[in-house]
Homo-oligomer: A and B are copies of this chain.
Amino acid sequence: MLIRHAQPEDLDDIRCILEPVIRAGETYPLPRDMTQVEALAYWMEPNHETFVAEDDGRLVGTYYLRANQPGGGAHVANCGYVTARGAEGRGVARRMCEHSLQQARDRGYLAMQFNFVVSTNERAICLWHRTGFETVGRLPLAFKHPRLGMVDALVMFRRL
């Protein structure tokens, strides 16, 4: 698996990777009726550095890296990760997370924070724990899950 910066020719694949996650609305606090253009614009905002994971010539995931806050909070990084539908269970998210931690270290960040991990996203939470993240906050009923109703969201953090 090769993880590299996203290129203009990856946009269509990234759009397809994001699409089911946006429509499901179960893991990211994004409007389920967001257009594909809005979703791409969000994922590739000017202050995001966007990467893709490529396996055997096919994109299997994408993530972004950014400063979580400007000014006095700019030493803490933030990332978002999405694995392509059909590529789950092959360690894509773990590889992207490990890659992002190293990229963040290389850029001088001292920590990484996830602001809004939906508490029912057990697979992700388990992975973040395994990669060294701790739950430092719990936001009570902060996420309206389309199937499960109001559920907590977690704030997760690790030093680099």
Which residues of chain A have a CB within 8 Å of any CB of chain B?
Answer: 25, 28-32, 34, 69-76, 110-111, 113, 115-116, 118, 136-146, 153, 155, 157, 159
| Min C-beta distance of A109 to chain B, whole Å | 11
- Complex: chain B residue closest to A146, CB-CB: B72
Residue contact A136 to B143, C-beta cutoff 8 Å: no
Q: Is the interface of A mostly helix, strand, loop or mixed?
A: strand
Complex: A138 Cα to B118 Cα, angstroms:
18
Residue contact A139 to B71, C-beta cutoff 8 Å: no
Query: Which residues from chain B contact A30 at a C-beta distance below 8 Å?
Result: 70-72
Residue contact A113 to B136, C-beta cutoff 8 Å: no
Q: Say how many copies of this protein the assembly contains.
A: 2
| Min C-beta distance of A25 to chain B, whole Å | 6
Q: Which of A71, A75, A140, A155 has the most CB of B within 10 A?
A: A71
Query: Which residues from chain B contact A142 at a C-beta distance below 8 Å?
Result: 69, 73, 76, 111, 113, 157
Complex: A31 Cα to B74 Cα, angstroms:
9
Residue contact B113 to A29, C-beta cutoff 8 Å: no
Query: Which residues from chain B contact A155 at a C-beta distance below 8 Å?
Result: 137, 139, 155
Given contacts A111-B142, A115-B115, A142-B111, are A29 and B73 in contact (CB under 8 A)?
yes
Told that A28-B72, A136-B140 touch, could you supply 14 new A-B pairs with CB distance under 8 A?
Answer: A25-B72, A31-B70, A31-B71, A69-B116, A72-B118, A72-B144, A72-B146, A73-B143, A111-B142, A113-B139, A113-B142, A136-B137, A139-B157, A142-B157
